[in-house]
Structure 1
Amino acid sequence: MRHLLCVTAFAAATLLAACGKQESDKAPPNPAPTTTNVAPPVPDAGKVGNIATTAQGFGASAGEAVAEAMKLALLQVNGAAIQSTSVSAKYGLDVSLNQDSASLRGSAFAEVVAQRSGGVIQNFKLVELQEPSVIGGQRYKATIEAQIAKFTPSADMQKLKVVVGQIRFDGPSLPMGDRNVSSAEVGATIRQRISDALVQTGRFAVLDRELSPDIEGELDMIKSGQAPSAELAKLSQAASADIVWSGRVSSLAYNRHARQLKTSDRELVSYSGGWALTEKLVNVATRQVMASDSLRGQAPSVAATTLGSGVDSHKVLEDMTTDMVNQVVTSIVRRTFPVTVVSRDGTNVVLSQGGQALKEGGRYQMVAMGAEMKDPQTGQSLGRIEQPCCELVIERVTPNLSYGRLENVRSNLEQLPVGGLQLRDELKGVAVARAQPAPVQASESQGAAPQADRAAAATVPAVVTGAAPAARAVQPRATPVAAPAAPGKSDDKW
């Protein structure tokens, strides 16, 4: 008996082990790792959707009560933009008039309303119709449920909406070297480039006031009924601007100066010019002038010569308009959305704007923002205290962000909050000066600096190392050239 029990126990253990092995063999494989979709989202241009709503209306007849309920349903979803006299709503309301109670309750009436409403009422249901005897009065009461088509604007319409106005000139043409160019064409180009630059900052919703034939054609197709009826919700959706920028160019020229030589038939020709512009930012709602400024720039001059080489007027115009656009965009952005540091890792920083707001390789002044100051009489904010902090060198620019590094830091960066560093004017010419190494002769002239020191001096910018050593190195070389001629001798050699 004991032998039988042992055999039975051994068989049971063997069976359990075999089952466990089979279960482990049948264990499901590890699930495949899920991949994250990193594809860019679909551009947001707004969309038409249906909104469910319930409304009640009263009227002297059943039809009037239903018509009032439909009008209230439309106003609940689309506001006062769709009135009972508008084309989109008129047909749907008309079919409810002069109808008896029986036809109003029929499904055929609901289909006619959806068809005749021009797509605004997508679905319609008469929930309840109470006659005057039921409600104890002289008026009918209608309760309806409806699906109303509604256009939802894109998220970008939450941004500050800007219109770039026409640019005015004093004359119809502009002198540009050896030719004249049309003021209207130049103004249209500058206006378009300002709009492009503002869009690329990612901070504005720039509105187009030049309704092209293509846009008008699309709107006419919707009005004529060729598009799906729900597209009628796109009509009357044009946005109004929050601010309008306008500019007046008082000077934009590159003049040719010629003087006839008395001793020959040749001319002494030179070129010079520049531009000047006044701008305004106006609040559309109040017509308040939010900002007004004067901007100007200078074009490189060409010294007087008799060789008659001329100038590239196309390039000169391109350079001047580029400088104008950059200054205009910078002034607008500075008044509305100052460029700030949004992330910092040591002296490496990320800035809140990209596009054309900043340029790669540029050097800018940075300030640290302090406490807010208020006028003691009016209590109005005068802005925050600004303390010069450092200089910023832009290394990379993307459509929405810029990357750079801080140099010549004079503030404690660790104590500044996020957004406490703001960008100011571009330091033109400083970046080029810093890229030039200090002269090695400054160390060799002293004769005591080792080779390692001379190598280090060659990599340190001249602005950082100071101006005195550079002056001592350069001055001996400049002295012979600047020395006056000896008395009684001609200075023609010099």
Structure 2
Amino acid sequence: MEAAPLRGTPDFGGTTQVAREADGIGSTPELAVLAALQSAVAQVNGVRVASQMQGLRAGLHVDVDGEHVGDIRADAFTQQMIAGSQGAVLGYEILSQDEVRQLDEETIARVRASDEGWSFKGSASANASGEASAKSGSASASVRESYDEKVSVDAKRGASSFDSDVTHRSMRSYWKVRVRAQIAQYRAPDEQGKPKIVVALPRTKAGSYAVGDGRVDADEVADAIRARLSDTLTQTQRFIVLDREFGDELQAEIDHINSGNVRLQDTARVGQQLATDLILIPTIERFEYPRSVRNLRMSDRQVTSYSGGGRITLRLINATTGQVVMSDSFDHQLASTGPSTLPRVVNGRNMAAAMMESLSGQIGTSIVTTLFPVSVVSVDGDQVVLSQGGDTVQAGQRWQAVRLGEELKDPQTGRSLGRSEHPCCTIRIDRVAAQTSYGTIEDGVDAMRGGFRPGQIELRQKLGSKPAAAAAGATASAAPAAAARPAAKPKPKPAAAPAEDPNW
């Protein structure tokens, strides 16, 4: 049996191929196949993706390249369906097809007719007369005749009515098709419950900032702070940081996929960009280290000095509801230089980089410790493993740790107030890895003996270096050095300036 690997590979998602069977009904076999394919795509990728195939209905004249397809099982029709699906359908086969006839409409009408009857009355008469004679030799004869006739008619019929039911039935036929389709599906990477966050471009209140002996463009400062914040949040491994800076490059890749020059199944990657949960909006309130010049009254020389620092306000907003999740401000004060007449040059870009590094580090640490406090996940004697690495913590730092107790609730509203916190120990960071860090418990080792549960101990406040250890280390290192070199001769004190010497 092969052992499982100790470290898994990164998960970036990808495209897979799944098989689905679906039924479709249509007035023609072609429309029935299209309906079945839409149903199969909807089962895998949702109705929105399936609706993209709706445009195929207009072109289903069963004519491809000017030739009549004639059969839905023809290769030409299959290729038409696959191409029209925009990569959603990789292939399919028709399992069954049936023509179903059923009663479409039945109409029953009642017909009624009636009249009021009729009557007829009339008379007619005729008369005629005639005479004829004949003579033959000595004999002769004659005839005379007449007649007269009269006729009269008198007829009538009473009122009558007629009722009848007339039934009309119309039949129609439709096609029922069952297909098995191979559907391209995009498998998203496992988000592991991480919130998605976007770092907005910091807002500025000036076009440039005076730093040192020059000026730094405000857009350059904003871009650098945005990049540093994205780096800091990415390294925490607690967020899915979404990019909003390189949109043109992302769109170029989408256009390349839609061009048809990639594998058919890779078109399932289109439309898979994530929407954010949180938006981080920084505002640069102050960013300066200007040069101050003052002219001396008694000479033509100038006295120069430098002082300043940076200040950034921050808002973390729920992108869906607009709720402000976090609001804070961060300061970094640069060391001021005393007034001097000596020429000096201050590199403004180096000073700006130092301020940006400090401010972005403060912001990243504050966000992580507020939303995801660093906790102890493992204890071995006085050695601990912490849940955070990267730039959030640094080797040599000392942190005050607390032990979480029972959950507290507001007696008036019933809202949870979190858990009670009890200071328990001090933890020194010894080594920092990408996702974890390792430290030593300096004070309060006994607090771990009462039973430990991962996540029960969290870091709270960053402390300064240990004075006793620093002093002891300084004394120990200074003693050998003092013993190795001879005692230095005392330097003579400078002579006191004469009180009345005008040239002193």
Match of 1:422 in 2: 458
Secondary structure of 2:71's counterpart equals helix
Q: Count residues in correspondence.
A: 407
Structure 1 residues not aligned, in runs of 5+: 1-33, 441-454, 459-488
Tell me by how many angstroms 1:212 deviates: 4.5
2:421 paired with 1:363: no
2:291 paired with 1:323: no
**Structure 1 residues 215 and 438: CA distance shift in structure 2, 3 A:** closer
Find the partner of 1:113 among 81, 94, 107.
81
Find the partner of 1:382 among 408, 417, 423.
417
Contact 1:92-1:114 at 8 Å conserved across structures: no
Find the partner of 2:92 among 119, 124, 131.
124
Tell me by how many angstroms 1:292 deviates: 1.0
Secondary structure of 1:316's counterpart equals helix
**Structure 1 residues 211 and 321: CA distance shift in structure 2, 3 A:** closer
Q: Deviations over 1:113-169 (max 9, x none)?
A: 234433211121121222123899754322211011111112247521110011011
Match of 1:251 in 2: 286
Contact 2:409-2:418 at 8 Å conserved across structures: yes
Q: Deviations over 1:387-426 (max 9, x none)?
A: 2222221111111111111212276222342211111232
Contact 1:361-1:394 at 8 Å conserved across structures: yes
Match of 2:71 in 1: 103
Contact 2:69-2:77 at 8 Å conserved across structures: no
Tell me by how many angstroms 1:90 deviates: 5.2
**Structure 1 residues 360 and 94: CA distance shift in structure 2, 3 A:** farther
Structure 2 residues not aligned, in runs of 5+: 105-171, 480-498
| Larger strand proportion of the pair | 2
Match of 1:404 in 2: 439
Match of 2:176 in 1: 141
What is the aligned-residue RMSD (CA, Å)? 2.9
**Percent of matched pairs sharing the same residue:** 35
Secondary structure of 2:32's counterpart equals helix
Query: Distance in 2 between the 1:53 and 1:304 partners?
Result: 79
**Structure 1 residues 433 and 139: CA distance shift in structure 2, 3 A:** farther
**Structure 1 residues 94 and 37: CA distance shift in structure 2, 3 A:** farther
Query: Distance in 1 between the 2:199 and 2:211 partners?
Result: 25
2:337 paired with 1:302: yes
Query: Distance in 2 between the 1:115 and 1:397 partners?
Result: 52
Query: Distance in 2 between the 1:403 and 1:215 partners?
Result: 38
Q: TM-score, normalised by structure 2?
A: 0.74
Secondary structure of 1:251's counterpart equals strand
**Structure 1 residues 438 and 140: CA distance shift in structure 2, 3 A:** closer
Find the partner of 2:45 among 56, 60, 78.
78
2:84 paired with 1:49: no
Contact 2:34-2:81 at 8 Å conserved across structures: no
Query: Distance in 2 between the 1:295 and 1:439 partners?
Result: 33
Query: Distance in 1 between the 2:303 and 2:73 partners?
Result: 94
Match of 2:483 in 1: none
Larger Rg: 2
Highest RCO, 1 vs 2 (Cα 8 Å, sep ≥ 6): 2
Query: Distance in 2 between the 1:45 and 1:396 partners?
Result: 29
> Any runs of at least 4 consecutive aligned residues in structure 1 with deviations exceeding 4 A, and if so which?
34-42, 90-102, 134-138
| Larger helix proportion of the pair | 1
Query: Distance in 1 between the 2:25 and 2:262 partners?
Result: 34
Secondary structure of 1:314's counterpart equals helix
